[in-house]
Structure 1
Amino acid sequence: MIPLPLVRKLLKLQFKLKRSKLFALALAVVLLALVLALLYMYAENVGFFTALYWAVITMATIGYGDITPSTLLGRIIAIFASIAGIATFTAFVSILAEYFLSGSIRRMMGMHKVKFKGHYVIMGRGESIESALLELRDAISNGQAENKPIIVVLPDENERKKLTLAEEIEIIIGEFTNKETLERANIKDASYVLLALGDDSESVFVTLMIKQLSNAKVFVEALKHESVSLLKQAGADRVITSRTLAGRLLASSIFEPEVVDVLDDITTALGRYDITSMRIPEVEGMKFGEAFNILYNRGLFLIGYATDEIHLMPPLDTIIPNNAKLLVIKSTM
């Protein structure tokens, strides 16, 4: 069985060869049409545009009959144009079809390059990718996140088979530490990159690479708490320590299982309740207690606000600052 990486390399080489052949043949068709037009001008004593029109129509074997050669030399040129036209146009159409077919195969295997700008890129392994994708798509549909394309980058085909991803999601297959993979995902023009690589040392290296290529915000999943400082030094805008969080929740399940259930529910937009942040200008400058009553009647449970810091359950007479993001719990039912 041929190794998949070798198949990718062969397809990549074939794609480049097809593209070069396509350009070469297109140039040959144009030059042939120009040469035939010049010869026909000389043989039939007509203008250049008329001769070029005749050459293209004859090469394409359309033959409207509105312009016909009247001299022996013109007829000889017409015979050559018909034969040469059939050969070149057939070859051109054949290579053009192969070019697009090769592009489709590259896309199917995740070897293509995207041209999106301002998009989201999710890179990694395991179920974290799928849950991050579902959460992001749900946030987009609810208007909580900007509606931008999402690109998923996976290390290999086996990883793709483990996940259940929607058909419309663009998938790039390639090594995370390979610059060419990042370029195919157009990291340079991305707005946000989510990393769940399952390897903290690899995450540090990839974060450094991304920050060299792009101004995108990079959010990273870390497995060990001691990796947080390294990732932030590498340029990560936010680091989530997934395993320590999971450990705390597991321990809490013993003595406060209801709290774990609530946290599990409100931290996903797919549950019955969701915790979210939003700006509501009309309550800015109000006392926290007044804002709480107004929002509660709208189905929003105000628990605090965020400026440069997070303020949870502030005194009821606290004035909500301008431009503060309100932290609320809302029903998703």
Structure 2
Amino acid sequence: MLNYLKSYLKRVKSELNNKTLRRLLLIVLTLFPLSAGGIVLVEEGEYFRTFGDALWWAVVTATTVGYGDMYPQTLIGRIIAIWVMLLGIGTVGAITAKLADLFIETKRRKELGEVPARYEDHLIICGWNRKVKDIIQQILNENLEQEIVLIANKERDPFPDNDDVHFIKGVMEEEDILKKAGVMKARAAIIVNKEQNDAKTVLTVLNIENLNPNIYTVAEISDSRNKIHLRNANVDEIIVDNAISSQLLVRSALYSGTSKVIEELLSNESGNQLYMLTTKKDDVGQEFLDLFIKYKKKDGLILIGIKRENEIIANPDNEQKVRANDKLVYIAGSKL
């Protein structure tokens, strides 16, 4: 919503170069003080004792509010009032109509994906497939107040009523579109596998990493043989769509109920989920088993691993000592 407001104000600023709007504003800015000054000079009653009172009356009259708390009593004062009504009401109405047109036009451009994103530390989702709506809903369910920018080559915004999702229309691998999505200031990017075209995914990652080497990229591909290309593009995490599905099928067949466990851990709609906890100062140097017992008793969560730089240590040895900058991977009903 803030980004939308910024875009609207930018359009208003650019429209100030419009001669018609500038003339209307000049009329209003001239009309109010002149009318107020004239009323103060000709009216000697109890209403218009100061210029501020007169200016208040002029604004209220021109905007058709008309509280009736003060009004001119002399002939000249009433002539000034008629002048304010005829000229002021029409001018203010024209300005209001112009601003309303700008508001509608900005909303239209947003729905068409033409408004650039101006966020920082936001999350970009590149591409569109049948899973994207669920991905976005899962992110929103986390209640992280995370701004989301969606790049998709669609005619209109797939989320027109959701101010938390900013739509950019275009092809995800094009640099101009990535810049429009604010990739240089983004925190992370998810590149979904579109039409099982891994080449586009690799090209998108290359362009993203070139524009912002510090961004965290997660890419989805359909062919595991293309992992090497993504690694060469400096991707941070790779998801092989078909491989995960086949592995889950096998584990579920061999160990019944496996898919239900995985589904609960990956879904944030109910039950327990996977989270990561930044290592606290008091935890540095302690053994994993000691921390496992500590957090289980204190917070009811289960530690299952350690993320150390780009390495995941699942089910560490009991004596594994936790280092500074490590992250603890845990299962819990809610985020700690």
Residue deviations 1:162-201 (CA, integer Å, cap 9, x gap): xxx9733324141224555434433332221211142322
Indicate conservation of the 8 Å contact 2:222/2:241, yes or no: yes
Indicate conservation of the 8 Å contact 1:279/1:323, yes or no: yes
* d(CA) in 2 for partners of 1:316, 1:186: 44
- In the other structure, the counterpart of 1:128 is 131
CA displacement at 1:274 relative to structure 2 = 1.9
1:99 to 92, 97, 102: 102
CA distance 1:125–1:312, shift in 2 (3 Å): same
* d(CA) in 2 for partners of 1:294, 1:60: 66
Indicate conservation of the 8 Å contact 1:123/1:129, yes or no: no
- In the other structure, the counterpart of 1:202 is 200
CA displacement at 1:209 relative to structure 2 = 3.0
2:182 to 183, 186, 199: 186
Amino acid at match of 1:188: M
* d(CA) in 2 for partners of 1:154, 1:246: 25
- In the other structure, the counterpart of 1:26 is 21
Amino acid at match of 2:327: K
Indicate conservation of the 8 Å contact 2:168/2:180, yes or no: no
Indicate conservation of the 8 Å contact 1:125/1:154, yes or no: yes
Query: What is the TM-score normalised by the length of structure 1?
Result: 0.68
Q: Which moved more, 1:184-193 or 1:238-247?
A: 184-193
How many equivalent residue pairs?
304
- Which secondary structure does the structure 2 equivalent of 1:240 belong to? strand
* d(CA) in 1 for partners of 2:294, 2:99: 63
Q: Percent identity?
A: 21
- In the other structure, the counterpart of 1:150 is 148
Query: What is the TM-score normalised by the length of structure 2?
Result: 0.68
1:111-260 to 2 correspondence within 5 Å?
A: 111-138=114-141, 140-141=142-143, 147-157=145-155, 160=158, 167-177=162-172, 178-198=174-194, 199-214=197-212, 215-260=214-259
- In the other structure, the counterpart of 2:277 is 278
* d(CA) in 2 for partners of 1:28, 1:159: 36
Indicate conservation of the 8 Å contact 2:284/2:323, yes or no: yes
CA displacement at 1:156 relative to structure 2 = 1.0
Amino acid at match of 1:148: Q
Indicate conservation of the 8 Å contact 2:273/2:332, yes or no: yes
CA distance 1:26–1:270, shift in 2 (3 Å): same
* d(CA) in 2 for partners of 1:96, 1:159: 23
CA distance 1:264–1:27, shift in 2 (3 Å): same
CA distance 1:252–1:60, shift in 2 (3 Å): closer
* d(CA) in 2 for partners of 1:86, 1:30: 13
1:318 matched to 2:320: yes
* d(CA) in 2 for partners of 1:307, 1:29: 62
Indicate conservation of the 8 Å contact 1:154/1:160, yes or no: no
CA distance 1:133–1:34, shift in 2 (3 Å): closer
CA distance 1:150–1:116, shift in 2 (3 Å): same
Q: Which moved more, 1:242-251 or 1:146-155?
A: 146-155
Indicate conservation of the 8 Å contact 1:223/1:243, yes or no: yes
CA distance 1:245–1:24, shift in 2 (3 Å): same
- Which secondary structure does the structure 1 equivalent of 2:207 belong to? helix
Q: Which runs of 5+ in 2 are unaligned?
A: 1-9, 33-40, 42-50
Residue deviations 1:226-264 (CA, integer Å, cap 9, x gap): 222222333422221122111221233332233333233
- In the other structure, the counterpart of 1:305 is 306
- In the other structure, the counterpart of 2:38 is none
